[in-house]
Amino acid sequence: MLYKISNSSKINTEQAWNNFVLSGKVEESYVRNVIAESWLRCHNAGVNYLDGYCQDLLSREEIQIFIQEKKQLIDIAKPIMKTLFKCVEGSSFVVVLVNEKGLILETIGDSDVLMMTKTLNFLPGANWSEECVGTNAIGTTLVINNPIQVSGAEHYCSKHHIWTCSAAPIHDSYGNVIGCLDMSCLIGREHSKDLGMVVAAVRAIENQLHKEETQGRLFAAHKHLTTVLSTISEGIMSIDKDSFITHANPALAKIVGMLPSDIIGKKVSSILGDCYHIKKVLETGRSCLEEEVTIDVLKQQIHCTLEAIPIKDQSMQVVGAVITFREIKQVHQIVNKMAGTQARFGFRDIVGKSHKIQEIIRKAKVAAKSLSTVLLLGESGTGKEVFAQAIHNSSERKDAPFIAVNCAAMPRELIQSELFGYCDGAFTGAKRGGRPGKFELADGGTLLLDEIGDMPLDMQVNLLRVLQEKNVIRVGGDKPIPIDVRVIAATNKNLSLEIEKGAFRKDLFYRLNVVTLTMPSLKERYGDVKLFVEYFLQRMSLKLGKEIAEVHPQVMEILNNYHWPGNVRELENVLEYAINMMEGNTITKESLPFYLNKEEMKIEEEDELFTLAELEGNAIKKALKKFDGNITKVAQSLGIARNTLYEKMKKYKIKK
């Protein structure tokens, strides 16, 4: 809405102004409503109608702060203000830019008018709001948020009656008032077109302002997107419909071994070679999700997963695609992390101060610093896997996967696919898309081949080839996949005897037997039984919720004299059994399994020897009687799983 005045109303307006300042009442028939409302606001605010000189003027330092805050508005408005002034130059005009509070930011005008305005402090830093200088085009347009022309006696202050002012508010892209533009001149000239010129100039300022704001938002969005893409660990590129690369993030550049600037603008085939999946996405417009591919980059093959999403225009035509690459190493690291395939133990976790265990720890620490294959020998329960984890955690591969495979526990027909993986459709029941084997999952890290002495002979040949060539071929596939894996093998068998029997290959033994560490049995580790008792009791008392005050000296004597065929694992199970069986808070010999009782051991020595099966069966019978047939409690006391307990009860024909 534009608020203009006509020349015919000037005399009536002057009379109305005189009457208002004397009576405080407005003659509405002679004064526009917008002016009348402004007079009333000024009257209520206590503005001096005989004045008009601006008393609210900022210091030079404060002016610089406000100008800096409105720098963008000033930079956009100044050229347009100059163009507007050119249209009226020489006609005693001044063009003024003001902020949203009424503070003047910039003035351009004829020198004679600028001299006159100085007498009113109509200059940068002055506050020309209604509260300060009464009704005027600047202050009133900011109040009503509409363009307005104020002329002669319409001004509340008498010193302004010689002026005609036209002003319009300036809005940002959200509709908020951020300032106004004013054009003022002496009252004697034709001014009917002034307000229209000011409104047109404001529209030009707003259009340019909105354009720069839009460009700023687009730039910020682009910067944000670029920053996000730069922090993503996956390689990402975008291509147009003709397969030319339009964007590539740093991760992709690292994968292909090039700078992003060297990639953008080239055909995707010149970087990655011919890729069927990318062509298919551009041709069909259908997404390609998590396909495992091997791409040729600079004469080397990179094993990765590929995901390609088409980009479509408004008519649903394919205009490009976004392609994401994840190196298989990275995928496997995520899988291993989620699956918890990380080594938990270090050398600090190994219990024991005996000379033999300390010597093995010393040698293992030396072995950890190399990349050579390690062979761990020793009876069951001597802690071979704990040592394997400690070696891994002390090596340069400590942040990479640690994967343990029990060669004796895997079915013969599945061991090859478990170790080396398989391709899509390799055999009946194979998972769609194939599956990586343990060697691939351990890439960059360590693979523990536990119970290596139980590996079938035909598999030993394949394992030897992998160790020699440093790559694997999946079951059903023909492409070798490079791997970087440190192998630690472990067994409780005498491999030399296995070689003589023809059950183990001599060439594989020599390949594995680089650094050999033989774990001492518990009976060889003098003084360590007491340390293990303290360690296990502390851990198990928390686990089982029982407080243990002491271990009876008789118990320690029995434990120290026992030969421990099951080594540390057997000692752990014995102590868990004793905690469950004890009455009170002291472990006595009555709490121990019967075969460890001194009197029972005497009987064994004097009368007859029991087989391990008989000992195990008797222990199960005693526990069943102790817990009234409660399978869960019996299994817990014996340190075995419920399923294992049922199997042993069936084996020994023990009824519940």
The CA distance from 15 to 13, in Å, is 5
Work out the pLDDT band at 607, boundaries 50, 70, 90: very low
Q: Which residues contact 520 (CB under 8 A, 6 or more apart)?
A: 354, 356, 357, 360, 378, 382
Q: What is the pLDDT of residues 43-100, one digit of tens each?
A: 999 999 998 899 898 888 888 888 888 999 999 999 999 999 998 888 889 999 999 9
State the Cα–Cα distance between residues 50 and 159, nearest whole angstrom. Answer: 7
Q: Which domains does the chain have, with CATH numbers?
A: 7-213 (3.30.450.40), 232-327 (3.30.450.20), 341-520 (3.40.50.300), 542-651 (1.10.8.60)
Nearest alpha-carbon partner for 134 in 242, 195, 56, 77: 56
Across 548-573, b (16+ Cβ under 10 Å) vs e yields beebbeebeebbeebebebbbbbbbb
Which residue in this structure is represented by tokens 């984890």? 389
Instruction: Return d(Cα 390, Cα 22) in angstroms, integer.
Output: 99
Mean pLDDT (the chain) is 85
- Enter the tokens of residue 632: 């869960």
Tens digit of each residue's pLDDT (9 = 90 or more) over 471-501: 988 888 888 888 899 999 999 999 999 999 9
Using DSSP's 3-state secondary structure scheme, residue 193 falls into: coil
Residue 482's Cα: distance from chain center in Å?
A: 29
**362 C-beta neighbours (distance < 10 Å), count:** 11
CA-wise closest residue to 281 among 312, 314, 246: 312
Which pLDDT band, with edges at 50, 70 and 90, does 599 fall under?
very low
pLDDT value, residue 1: 53
| Residue keyed to tokens 């088409």 | 310
Give the model's confidence band at 341: pLDDT under 50 very low, under 70 low, under 90 confident, else very high: low
Find the DSSP H helices in 401-523: 415-420, 438-441, 457-469, 495-500, 506-512
Q: Report d(CA 446, CA 172) in Å as an integer.
A: 61
**8 A C-beta contact, residue 551 and residue 578:** no
User: Residue 648 contacts by C-beta under 8 Å, 6 or more apart in sequence?
Assistant: 616, 617, 620, 640, 654
Lowest mean pLDDT among 323-332, 397-406, 460-469: 323-332
What percentage of the chain carries pLDDT values higher than 90? 39
User: Which residues, 6+ apart, have CB-to-CB distance to 491 below 8 Å?
Assistant: 375, 376, 377, 450, 451, 452, 453, 454
CA distance 205 to 213: 12
pLDDT at 340 over 60: no
For 391-425, give one letter per residue: b (16+ CB within 10 A) or e.
bbbbbebbebbbbbbebeebeeeebbbbbbbbbee
Distance of alpha carbon 205 from alpha carbon 182, whole angstroms: 13
pLDDT in tens, 289-315: 877 777 776 666 777 778 888 988 888
Predicted TM-score of the model (pTM): 0.52
Whole-number Å distance between alpha carbons of 556 and 70: 85
Three-state secondary-structure class, residue 415: helix
505 pLDDT tier (thresholds 50, 70, 90): very high
Q: Are 472 and 439 spatial neighbours (Cβ–Cβ below 8 Å)?
A: yes
Nearest to 536 by CA among 546, 526, 524, 523: 546
Identify the top-confidence range among 266-280, 393-407, 605-619, 638-652: 393-407
